[in-house]
Amino acid sequence: MSTKSKIFNSLYWKISGIFLVFTILLTIIFIYISVIFSSEYNQEAQQKINGEIAAGAIKEVSPIFVDGKVKEEAIKVLMHSMMAVHPSIEVYLLDPGGRILTFVVPGQDVKTEYVSLEPVKKFLGRSDDRIIKGDDPRNPGSPKIFSAAEIIEDGQLKGYMYIILASNQYTSTMAALENSFILKIGARSILISVLLTSMLGLLAIWIITRNLNKIISAFRSFKEGNHSVRINLQTGGELGNVAHTFNSMAETIQQNIIQLKSVEELRKELIANISHDLRSPIASIQGFTETILLKEDKLTENERKKYLEIILQNSENLSKLVNDLFELSKLESNPQMIQPEPIQVAELVQDVADKFQIIAREKNISINTIYSKSLPLVYADIQMTDRVFQNILDNAIKYCNPGDVVTIELELQKDSVLVKIADTGKGIAEDELPYIFTRYYKGSKTKGANSTGLGLAIVKKILDLHKSSIQVYSKINQGTRFEFQLPLYVVA
Ligand SMILES: Nc1ncnc2c1ncn2[C@@H]1O[C@H](COP(=O)(O)OP(=O)(O)OP(=O)(O)O)[C@@H](O)[C@H]1O
Ligand SMILES: [Mg+2]
């Protein structure tokens, strides 16, 4: 037997076993209680039906006392004839103090002289049908139901007629009947109710454990690596909840695994790209340094200068690449690193523009700025915003031809400042536009060594962290325009 079915079976049988034991126990208790109640009911009915039997008997033989003495013969005849009709009764004649004057009982084995009058008085004054039990002179300590009546003659209480309704003989007959009742009704009830409840119960338990089994096998399958397994239960309640929780947990884990895998892919791709980008400047530096060292005397002054310039250029490229990579990975690994503050965006733009004026002039490119002096403060990380301007301006100048114009415009909007940086340069082909913000993406015409393809990826990441987006509009040979918004500073 497999572990799976062992668990299922033991759980199934444990629950079923407990359930069956409880069913049988409850049935027995039910039968026991029914018997007790039916016996009580029987006695109540007896006392109610035969309650007036004592009063009737008195009427028959009245007067009972003649010259202060009991009319014994007449009474005994009556008593016997009563007992012939009701064999279960025992008849006693009591004096006003409860002493037994005469009696007719089978076997004549009366053990007490007195009968307690308290229950007799209660019986005579009763207003409801509750059972009242009185002394049984034949069985002291074992009270019985009875009927009683006062004997009043010549206006005086002369005594009581006291009739035990359920004699020894009667109660033992009852007990026998009850036993057979237990046997008959009990056996049938046990059989029918145990069978019915067991069938329904076992079916219910089977349905529950079947669902549990589904859950267990889903867990096991997931543990064994099948991350797409889900539990399909057509039930609500606790088990439905467990299934639902499992499904959403499995979904999250599966998504995380997919994400981890793609991060891992990206990491591999990055390492490949980085090593490729690092290799060429390093090889170039190495090659030219070796040449200078080997041909020390044979090199002309001009050649040496040219080689050293190449080495310097490559070192600068290397340093830019390393810095950009470092910056991007810092932004990606720690999104909390932005520290927004209220900034004068016009001032910032002017500073960046001034910084780029020198290279722009060298390339005969002009930089214009358009903004209102009364622009409100924006809320952004000043260094990162500066980096955004620098990277976009760097591109604008890099991809412009002499005579082109770069314009930076700031426009106040409802709750932000719209930044537009436009150039009249080479432009970007339509099919390349969707990729320019992807890291390492360099346009097809961008073959220069001083290009890492990281500039716009950094821009996008920084604006993402500011919850802002960037748009680009470009036409080949006409120019390019970048647009993004910076949120206005709101005084708390
Ligand atoms: N103003 C622009 N005009 C024309 N093409 C542009 C402009 N800005 C970006 N591009 C194109 O988008 C590509 C990606 O730009 P990005 O700034 O990310 O990388 P890069 O400029 O090639 O390298 P880096 O900025 O890291 O030195 C560029 O290679 C270029 O083809
Ligand atoms: Mg760039």
pLDDT tens, residue by residue, 295-325:
988 889 999 999 999 999 999 988 988 888 8
211 CB-near residues (< 8 Å, 6+ apart): 233, 235, 239, 243
Cα–Cα distance between 404 and 428 in angstroms, integer? 15
> Tell me, what's the pLDDT at 238?
85
The pLDDT assigned to 185 comes to 67
DSSP run (H or E) holding 416: strand 416-423
Helix, strand, coil share (%) of the chain residues, nearest 5: 55, 15, 25
Longest pairwise C-alpha distance within the chain:
173
492 residues of the chain, pLDDT tens digit each? 455 555 555 677 778 888 888 878 887 887 778 777 777 777 777 788 888 888 888 888 778 888 778 887 877 787 777 777 777 788 888 999 999 988 877 766 888 999 999 999 998 888 877 889 999 898 888 888 899 999 888 888 889 989 888 655 565 556 656 666 656 666 676 678 778 888 888 888 888 788 888 899 999 999 999 999 999 887 778 888 899 999 999 999 999 999 898 888 878 877 887 787 788 889 999 999 999 999 988 889 999 999 999 999 999 988 988 888 888 888 887 777 789 999 999 999 999 999 999 999 999 999 999 999 999 999 999 999 999 999 999 999 999 999 999 999 999 999 999 999 999 999 999 999 999 999 888 888 776 657 888 899 999 999 999 999 999 999 999 999 999 999 999 987
Q: How far apart are CA 390 and CA 330, in angstroms?
A: 18
Q: How far is the CA of 479 from the centre of ligand 2 (A)?
A: 15
Q: Which residue has its alpha carbon closest to ligand 1 atom 27?
A: 451
Domains and CATH numbers, the chain: 3-45+174-218 (no CATH), 51-164 (3.30.450.20), 240-330 (1.10.287.130), 336-487 (3.30.565.10)
User: What was the pLDDT predicted at 492?
Assistant: 76
- CA of residue 132 to ligand 1 center, whole Å: 109
User: What's the rounded Cα separation, in Å, for the pair 330 and 466?
Assistant: 15
Q: In whole angstroms, what is the distance from residue 266 CA to residue 332 CA? A: 13
4-to-7, 59, 207, 269 alpha-carbon distances in Å: 5, 84, 17, 44
- Taking the centre of ligand 2 as the mean of its atom positions, its distance from the CA of residue 470, in whole angstroms, is 15
Ligand nearest to the CA of 446: 1
Residue nearest atom 31 in ligand 1 by C-alpha distance: 443
Structure tokens at 308: 């050293």
213 is written with which tokens? 């089994």
Residue 437 CA: nearest ligand 1 atom is 18
Cα–ligand 1 centroid distance for 475 (angstroms): 14
Q: Which of ligand 1's atoms lies nearest the C-alpha of 324?
A: 26
Residue matched to tokens 């490229």: 317
Residue 443 φ/ψ, nearest 5 degrees: -60, 160
The residues lining ligand 1, judged by C-beta closer than 6 Å to any ligand atom, are 324, 391, 395-396, 399, 423, 425-428, 436, 441-443, 446, 451-457, 480
Q: What is the pLDDT of residue 192?
A: 82
Distance 398 CA to ligand 2 centre (A): 8
φ, ψ (nearest 5 deg) of residue 69: -115, 155
Pocket test for ligand 1, best of 277, 323, 395 (most atoms within 8 A of CB): 395
Q: What is the pLDDT of residue 1?
A: 45
